[in-house]
Amino acid sequence: MSSLKIVDLHVQIQGKQILKGVDLQVNENEIHALMGPNGNGKSTLLAAIMGNPKYTVTKGEIIFDGQNVLEMSVDQRARAGLFLGMQYPQEISGVTNSDFLRAAINSRLEKPVSLFSFIKEMEKTIKDLEMKPDLAHRFLNEGFSGGEKKRNEIVQMKMLKPTIAMLDEIDSGLDVDALKIVANAVVDMQKTTNLGLLVVSHYERFYQLLKPTHAHVLIDGKIVTSGGIELVEKIDSDGYDWLYKQFNIETIKKAVVVSNTLGSCAVSKKV
């Protein structure tokens, strides 16, 4: 059984400690919802698992199917079966979606995929995600709307067939109909391939469509509580305040805002 195991993970960026000891295990056929207030380390966790060079792992382990992920390059992690659907997918001019995806698929194979079967699968996937048929010939994410970019991430996930996929706010920028299309595509893939999922989202609506088997809340670089779908529902109705109280977490104090003026310059004086 495929599994991604994270043990006591500490991660920093530019000297600032973001993750302060995360423990988590995602097995195939499981859907994990990862929630938490903004700026507490959810995206950092996903980026660190994928190997984003901006982030430094200072302590802990990431084990994927018995392999030490921290010793692998980004592309090796992807070829091993990890996938990260990004919050802000990059635009790459000059590189078409089809050339990019063919190169990505071929990087996993000893013998290149035949053009016929590639085109057939790509056309089907594009249709499943209800995207425009010219997607294959357009440059990678260039000129795409926010929703198209997110749907294109799912097109890539379906084509690349990872074992464990991480989706970072893939629902942001999607309208109601697109949200259903994306959720259905993810659920369909999860059922047919036993995909393991780690999903970051702020919205219960998306989780209701995905029906996560596990839910976790990440605050101040640690997972403070875990549960099932009932945890998602509670956060949707009550927010995060109860967690701060229950686990005695100090909230970040608001910085005192000091307003700067231009002094007497441009200030009219009363005569």
What residues make contact with other proteins under the rule CB under 8 A? 50, 52-53, 73-75, 77-79, 83-84, 86, 89-90, 92-96, 99-101, 103-104, 107-108, 139, 156, 160
Please name the amino acid found at residue 257. Answer: V
Closest distance to other proteins from the beta carbon of 125 (Å): 14
Indicate the residue among 79 and 205 with the shorter CB distance to other proteins: 79
Closest distance to other proteins from the beta carbon of 93 (Å): 7
183: Cβ contacts below 8 Å, ≥ 6 apart: 171, 206, 209, 210
Closest distance to other proteins from the beta carbon of 130 (Å): 22
Ramachandran quadrant class, 220 (left: phi over 0; alpha: psi -120 to 50; beta: rest): left
Indicate the residue among 167 and 179 with the shorter CB distance to other proteins: 167
107: Cβ contacts below 8 Å, ≥ 6 apart: 75, 79
Q: Beta partners for 7?
A: 61
Q: What is the DSSP string of 66-81?
A: TEEGGGS-HHHHHHHT
Indicate the residue among 31 and 84 with the shorter CB distance to other proteins: 84
Query: Comparing C-alpha atoms, which of 170, 174, 232, 172 is closest to residue 207?
Result: 232
Closest distance to other proteins from the beta carbon of 151 (Å): 16
Indicate the residue among 4 and 84 with the shorter CB distance to other proteins: 84
Indicate the residue among 50 and 215 with the shorter CB distance to other proteins: 50
Bridging pattern class, strands 31-35 and 56-64: unpaired
Indicate the residue among 103 and 252 with the shorter CB distance to other proteins: 103
Closest distance to other proteins from the beta carbon of 49 (Å): 11
Closest distance to other proteins from the beta carbon of 115 (Å): 14
Give Cα separations from 123 to 76, 119, 132, 135, 165 (angstroms).
Answer: 27, 6, 10, 9, 22
